[in-house]
Structure 1
Amino acid sequence: MKPSNTYIFETLKKRIINLEMKPGDAVQEKELIEEFGVSRTPVREALIKLGQIGLVETRPRVGTFVTQIDLKSVQNAYEVKKNLEGLAAELAARRAKDDQIKELFVIIERFSGYDIVRDYKLCINDDQRFHQIVRQASGNEMLIEILDQLNTKTARFLQSIEYVIDDFDWFYETLKNMAHAIEARDSEQARKTTEEHTLKFVNQMSRRFFGYMMP
């Protein structure tokens, strides 16, 4: 069975976020057609979707390229995420399935074995996966879509700066607290803990890169 345009889209999105495809790189349609063994249509559909979320841009009569990382766009994404992550956790505490909760604790266990400098890529990826599970567990399709787009911007930025967690103990404990609140079906605590976690992280980013603190 040949890959769908959704599979191609997700594969290329992951490559761009992880900087396997770097800002400014040309996207070669012919090479992608050969790699995935498909016609031009699913590749082009995938590239259109990537363009809609700002990961590639097509220049008429020139080609398609991976976009540059726009710091203002990253800043805007963090400002919006600050409130929406808490809402996702609140809903997840009401709606999360047992297997989703189990995976949250599996991720937390992996964190306990990481070297935060050597394994910064794994830390970023697992942090993104943790929040992805939470928003998927929210069961709100609109919220999931919005947060997916926001996290695409912030994850690529974190990979580009080779971000190392400033206070790993705090980070690890707050993730555990978020997971325990969701497991306990305590929606109020899940939201509160997630908002505190997100705000502290966003303020770290703001001080370092944007020159101000979030309200």
Structure 2
Amino acid sequence: MLKQSKPLIYEEIKRRIIELEMKPGDPINEKELSAEFGVSRTPIREALIKLTQIDLVEFRPRVGTFVTQIDIATVKSAYEVKKNLEAFAAELAAKRATDEEIKILFQIIERFSTYDLIKDYKLCIQDDQLFHEVIRTASKNDILIDTLDMLNTKTARFLQSIHYVIQQYDGLITSLNSIADAIRNRDAEEARIQTESHTRLFLEEMSKNFFA
């Protein structure tokens, strides 16, 4: 592989962990990664240290470096926090989103109608995550963006691990449309209300099926 920059190395390892190409408990070989990315071990170690800060990697003294396990209690807590922060991000996005960002939201919604719910579950998860990522970015609040990105790493990996299939698919699309419409209409209060409803119902579904 061609030599990669530090940000790309970090993002690629992060992606592999979230999408379970690197599974919970897997050992991480810095030498192999440095050869793959065409860099010294220093940028690999720097990327791994950064990944420890969002609980995707752990260093065990005299043992090695490993992908962290998925902790259900932490995932539940992340969802509880996301419920309010995602709504705040949508409220800000209704005021600050660019026309291009709004266009992307509706493009994502259109893609949902093309998916096979069972076969394309990974794409469904990825596009649902992307929808909220676009809204976070549109909030133009760096602290909020960073906080939600960190929480999202916990929830996205969990969804991949359970092969999550959305139970109320038509309801999901309707809900996403309501959020996107509110943002397009610059209705901050409605954007917040619709996002609160969306995340509350999702959390209730998760609690019923996976959380004690």
After TM superposition, the score normalised by the length of structure 1 is 0.96
Which residue pairs with 1:139 in the alignment? 140
Q: Secondary structure of 1:65's partner? A: strand
Which residue pairs with 2:107 in the alignment? 106
Residue type of the partner of 1:16? I
Residue type of the partner of 1:113? T
Deviation of 1:4 after TM superposition, in Å, equals: 2.2
Which residue pairs with 1:162 in the alignment? 163
Runs of 4 or more consecutive aligned structure 1 residues displaced over 6 Å after TM superposition: none
Distance of 1:40 and 1:25 partners within structure 2: 19
Which residue pairs with 2:24 in the alignment? 23
Query: Which 5+ residue runs of structure 1 have no aligned equivalent?
Result: none
Deviation of 1:3 after TM superposition, in Å, equals: 2.2
Aligned residues: 211
Q: RMSD in angstroms over aligned alpha carbons?
A: 1.0
Cα deviation digits, residues 96-130 of structure 1 (max 9, x gap): 11111111111111001111111100000000000
The answer to whether 1:43 aligns with 2:44 is: yes
Distance of 2:66 and 2:171 partners within structure 1: 39
Residue type of the partner of 1:101? I
Q: Secondary structure of 1:102's partner? A: helix
Q: Secondary structure of 1:107's partner? A: helix
Residue type of the partner of 2:46? E
Distance of 1:66 and 1:5 partners within structure 2: 19
Residue type of the partner of 1:83? N
Residue type of the partner of 2:95? R
Q: Secondary structure of 2:65's partner? A: strand
Residue type of the partner of 2:131? F
| Match runs of 1:1-215 below 5 Å | 2-211=3-212
Deviation of 1:135 after TM superposition, in Å, equals: 0.4
Distance of 2:38 and 2:185 partners within structure 1: 47
Distance of 2:95 and 2:28 partners within structure 1: 42
After TM superposition, the score normalised by the length of structure 2 is 0.97
Residue type of the partner of 1:73? T
Residue type of the partner of 2:198? H
Q: Secondary structure of 2:210's partner? A: helix
Q: Secondary structure of 2:31's partner? A: helix
Q: Secondary structure of 1:58's partner? A: strand
Deviation of 1:40 after TM superposition, in Å, equals: 1.5
Query: Which 5+ residue runs of structure 2 have no aligned equivalent?
Result: none
Deviation of 1:206 after TM superposition, in Å, equals: 0.9
Distance of 2:151 and 2:207 partners within structure 1: 16
Q: Secondary structure of 1:35's partner? A: helix
**Larger CA deviation: 33-42 vs 123-132:** 33-42
Cα deviation digits, residues 192-211 of structure 1 (max 9, x gap): 00000000001100111223
Deviation of 1:8 after TM superposition, in Å, equals: 0.8
Q: Secondary structure of 2:116's partner? A: coil
